Copies of this chain bind each other. A is one copy, B any other.
Amino acid sequence: MAVATRGVLDGLRILEIGHFVAAPFATRLLADLGADVIKVEPLAGDPARQWGEQVDGHSLWWSIHGRNKRVISLDLKHPRARDIVLGLVRHTDALIENFRPGQLAKLGLGADVLRGARPDLVIAHISGYGQTGPYRDRAAFGVIGEAIGGLRHLTDHPPGTSDLPPVRVGVSVGDSVSGLYAVIGVLGALWQRDRAKGDGKGRTIDVALTESILSLMEGMLPEYGALGKVKQPAGGGIATAAPTNAYPTADGAWILIAANSEPLFARLMQLIGRPELIGVPEYAGNQQRVANVAALDALIGAWTRTYPVDALVQMLEDADIPSSKVYTAADIAADPQYRARGMVRDIVDPNFAAPVLHTGVVPHVVEAPGGVRWAGPAVGAHTDAVLGELLGLDPAALAELYAERVIG
Contact = CB atoms under 8 A, between A and B. Distances in A.
A236 B356 CA distance: 29
Given A195-B195, A220-B329, A234 B170 contact: yes
Given A135-B337, A235-B165, A180 B177 contact: yes
Contact of A229 (B33, B53, B128, B326): B53
Interface in A251-301: 254, 256, 258, 260-261, 264, 286-287
Interface stretch (A73-81, A101-109, A144-152, A392-400): A144-152
A188 B365 contact: yes
Given A184-B180, A189-B365, A235-B164, A147 B208 contact: no
A233 B167 contact: yes
Contacts of A330: 224, 230
Contacts of A144: 256, 258, 322-324
A337 B183 CA distance: 23
A11 B328 contact: no
A223 B52 contact: yes
A108 to B, nearest CB: 21
A104 B93 CA distance: 37
**So how many copies of this chain end up in the complex?**
2
B172 A218 contact: yes
A68 interface: no
Contacts of A356: 222, 225-226
A366 B206 contact: yes
Contacts of A352: 226
A154 interface: yes
A38 interface: no
Contact of A52 (B9, B161, B207, B218): B218
A140 B185 CA distance: 29
A260 B47 CA distance: 11
Contacts of A176: 216
A1 interface: no
Contact of A196 (B64, B194, B321, B346): B194
12 contacts: A11-B195, A47-B261, A134-B336, A139-B320, A143-B258, A153-B326, A168-B235, A168-B238, A185-B363, A225-B346, A226-B352, A229-B329
**CB-CB nearest 7 A-B residue pairs:** A154-B170, A225-B357, A61-B219, A187-B187, A224-B329, A185-B363, A165-B246
